[in-house]
């Protein structure tokens, strides 16, 4: 079985992001970038399938600038076999990314595609579902447990009422939730080995995919600063302030 894992380069989750002065986007100058946490979980699950002898090859793919090779090398250090970078410097919509991933999947012909359920920068939670629809794949989203059985994959999903298990006929797309696994740390020997693993770069044009988007960002704003809270002496004071100051009752 070949497993294709899509990963994304994002601002490190420990970094406090800043909005550009012209409100056109996020200021990425001198900002630490990292592998999206949900994507790390996807890579870990694929590597575990390989360690169990279920998968024989794990291929990671990313869509982004040349600098995204750093995150692909991280995925290779975690245990992936080879990497593909779809090099694009544009800010792409989820649909454009899904189209590019579908083109890569058409070339690679994986039996299973694993993605993080969302990226922590855009929080769209759309790419996996769009990829499944474009490729005609079965899909299991928000996976907290994954098991391969013959030509099917059983995916346990977290839903409002508890847990739901679905059986998907391969090939399939699975998006990972936080509780699926705990990613390992890349050891120094594996980091060194990752430098020699194959990493192939392609362009959207070479894949025959147009990345033109009908979505345009008008403005990016930082959240409004919350005012400090106050203490009241009695319920009567609370009701008075809610009625006359906050005007919520």
User: Could you tell me the two tokens for 68?
Assistant: 């995204």
Q: Tell me what pLDDT residue 17 has.
A: 86
Q: Is residue 159 part of a domain?
A: yes
Asked, for residue 39, whether it belongs to a domain, the answer is yes
Q: What's the pLDDT at 212?
A: 85
Residue 122 placed within a domain: yes
88-93 mean pLDDT: 89
Residue 91 lies in a domain: yes
Confidence at 29, pLDDT banded by 50, 70, 90: confident
**Residue 249: inside a domain, yes or no?**
no
For residue 37, the enclosing domain spans: 2-244
The mean pLDDT value for 51-55 works out to 95
Question: Residue 226's CB: how many other CB atoms inside 10 A?
Answer: 6
pLDDT at 195 over 90: yes
74 conformational bin, left if phi > 0, alpha if psi -120 to 50, beta if neither: alpha
Task: Decide: helix, strand or coil at residue 50.
Answer: helix
Residue 116: pLDDT band (50, 70, 90) is: very high
How far apart are alpha carbons 140 and 146 in whole angstroms? 10
DSSP string, 185-243: PPPHHHHHHHTTS-EEEE-HHHHT-----S-------PPPPPPPP---SSHHHHHHHHH
Whether residue 104 lies inside any domain: the answer is yes
Residue 65 belongs to some domain of the structure: yes
Q: How many domains does the chain have?
A: 1
**pLDDT interval class at 119 (50, 70, 90):** very high
CATH number of the domain at 238, please: 3.40.50.620
pLDDT at 228: 82
The pTM (predicted TM-score) of the whole model is 0.86
Summarised one tens digit per residue, pLDDT across range 140-175 is: 999 999 999 999 999 999 888 889 999 999 999 999
Give residue 62's pLDDT: 97
């Amino acid at each position: 079985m070949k497993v294709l894992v899509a990963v994304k380069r994002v601002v490190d989750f420990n970094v406090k992001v800043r909005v550009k002065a012209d409100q056109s986007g996020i200021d990425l100058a001198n900002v630490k970038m990292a592998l999206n946490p949900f994507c790390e979980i996807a890579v870990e699950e694929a590597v575990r399938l390989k360690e169990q002898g279920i998968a024989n090859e794990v291929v990671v793919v990313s869509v982004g600038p040349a600098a995204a090779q750093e995150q692909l090398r991280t995925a290779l250090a975690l245990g992936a076999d080879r990497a593909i970078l779809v090099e694009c410097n544009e800010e792409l919509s989820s649909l454009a990314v899904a189209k590019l991933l579908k083109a890569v999947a058409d070339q690679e012909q994986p039996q299973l595609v694993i993605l993080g359920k969302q990226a922590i920068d855009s929080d769209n939670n759309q790419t996996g579902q769009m990829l499944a629809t474009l490729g005609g794949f079965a899909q299991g989203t928000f996976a907290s447990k994954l098991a391969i059985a013959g030509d099917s994959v059983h995916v346990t999903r977290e839903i409002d009422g508890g847990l739901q298990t679905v059986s998907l006929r391969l090939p399939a797309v699975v998006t990972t939730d936080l509780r699926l696994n705990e990613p390992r740390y890349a050891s120094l020997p594996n980091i060194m080995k990752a430098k020699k693993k194959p990493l192939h770069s392609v362009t959207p044009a070479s894949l025959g995919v147009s990345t033109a988007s009908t979505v345009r960002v008008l403005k990016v704003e930082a959240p409004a600063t919350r005012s400090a809270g106050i203490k009241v002496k009695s319920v009567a004071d609370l009701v008075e302030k809610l009625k006359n100051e906050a005007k919520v009752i």
